[in-house]
Structure 1
């Protein structure tokens, strides 16, 4: 590991991505190999997911993880899919120490489990399930600025060969997604509201306009429509904060949409992000 790793945000969309990868899943298949070529294989992954939240930060420091099927009504084949990955109690304690030093009073539990936002993405990025994973539950009622601060606390891990990963969705209005039922057409044309929101996120990211991004619910076009609740976007801020600097690149390295409204964008953050972008093309 010669240089720090970029931090990354991936959009996992719905659980069906595990069976129907679409453009985002196909992209994620290339992401792990590109990271390995450019920076070396991560020694561990610290991940914040939209589906692992708590009233205070919690580090899941179990020695082993299995897939959690935290959904219902989808294709039953999903419940047969596995992602059995090692954990890292030692790294879990280190993560808790970093959060504690930042004044966040984390809890550490010696339990494992990967929600679908984690395992559906990692099945594509690192399908061998041989890299230790440490999930961090964040507080979804805290605003984006405090999620950025949580990410900044994790920034030193990138210099130790640890991939800091956020997983959620760049847009996430399930009422719109499944307006025609669970088998809605994934190839619908993108609606204007989704396109406008995603473009605002891209442009404000490239401009390092963190004040606007942290105030996205008021400033971004169609923000409340695209995120009726914002837990699926908050991991984006955690990954962004892990870049460690407000002037570090924030680069959209993949953009696509499924169901016409579910944005599947992927971002890389940090001085290393442009190198990763180049390695993917």
Structure 2
């Protein structure tokens, strides 16, 4: 997150390893994907029209919030990608509005990936509880119910209303991307649920697919 949103206009974004204290093998991973400066410029224009004062970034590549999910979605790195950072000061309503500003891209078939973590207490992750903590499952279940019910008002108030919200998210930046993705496809709620379970005892890995892509994911093969 940055004071103003930044949009990557990089033709060949580098793989940024912006994390510490993990397996050394993770720092050897690269994701050699092409950027998409033209679409990035369109995102820049849309955010500007919505009053967000975004800044172009012609140097920064993809940090782990972008290349980790993309590596699973498109392991061949054959789909161009660019990264949009979130403003530093957001709440539930403004995170949703940020996504709504990018909705024209989603309507044109651009996949908008909101990457964070449904629960993200790194202090507890590093302490290694060794068992699944009930609070993480309860928080995740509350969010899932709000999404499945298509209750956008309740979803925007998650960090105020949901059980164990402060423990699930001691800081907020890993939750806002969910609202950005939902806001970009607000008329398409509810969403398709991707069951992720709990890993390391405290990290819920649930994910959701919004919009037409969600409808396709839910359709029988």
Listed as ranges, the matches of 1:1-281 within 5 Å are: 53-180=1-128, 188-245=130-187, 248-278=189-219
Aligned to 1:30: none
Separation in structure 1 between the aligned mates of residue 19 and residue 30 of structure 2, nearest angstrom: 15
Instruction: State the Cα distance separating 1:218 from its structure 2 match.
Output: 1.8
Instruction: State the Cα distance separating 1:189 from its structure 2 match.
Output: 3.9
Give CA-to-partner distance per residue, 1:117-152, whole Å, 9 cap, x none. Answer: 211221111011121111001113210211111111
Is the CA contact (8 Å cut-off) linking 2:192 and 2:217 kept in structure 1?
no
Separation in structure 2 between the aligned mates of residue 122 and residue 66 of structure 1, nearest angstrom: 14
In structure 2, the residue corresponding to 1:98 is in which secondary structure?
A: helix
Instruction: State the Cα distance separating 1:73 from its structure 2 match.
Output: 1.5
The list of structure 1 runs, each at least 4 consecutive aligned residues, that deviate by more than 3 angstroms after superposition, is none
For structure 1, which runs of at least 5 residues remain unmatched after alignment? 1-52
Is the CA contact (8 Å cut-off) linking 2:95 and 2:179 kept in structure 1?
yes
In structure 2, the residue corresponding to 1:133 is in which secondary structure?
A: coil
Separation in structure 1 between the aligned mates of residue 50 and residue 133 of structure 2, nearest angstrom: 41
Separation in structure 2 between the aligned mates of residue 95 and residue 156 of structure 1, nearest angstrom: 9
Is the CA contact (8 Å cut-off) linking 1:191 and 1:260 kept in structure 2?
yes
Instruction: State the Cα distance separating 1:271 from its structure 2 match.
Output: 4.6
Separation in structure 1 between the aligned mates of residue 6 and residue 178 of structure 2, nearest angstrom: 18
Is the CA contact (8 Å cut-off) linking 1:63 and 1:111 kept in structure 2?
no
Is the CA contact (8 Å cut-off) linking 2:193 and 2:209 kept in structure 1?
yes
Give CA-to-partner distance per residue, 1:38-87, whole Å, 9 cap, x none. Answer: xxxxxxxxxxxxxxx21011111111112111111211111111111111
Relative to the length of structure 2, the TM-score reads 0.93
Q: Over aligned residues, Cα RMSD in angstroms?
A: 1.7
Structure with bigger RCO (C-alpha 8 Å, 6+ apart):
1
Mark the CA change 1:140 to 1:256 in structure 2 (over 3 Å): closer, same or farther: farther
Compare the two structures and name the one with the higher strand fraction. Answer: 1
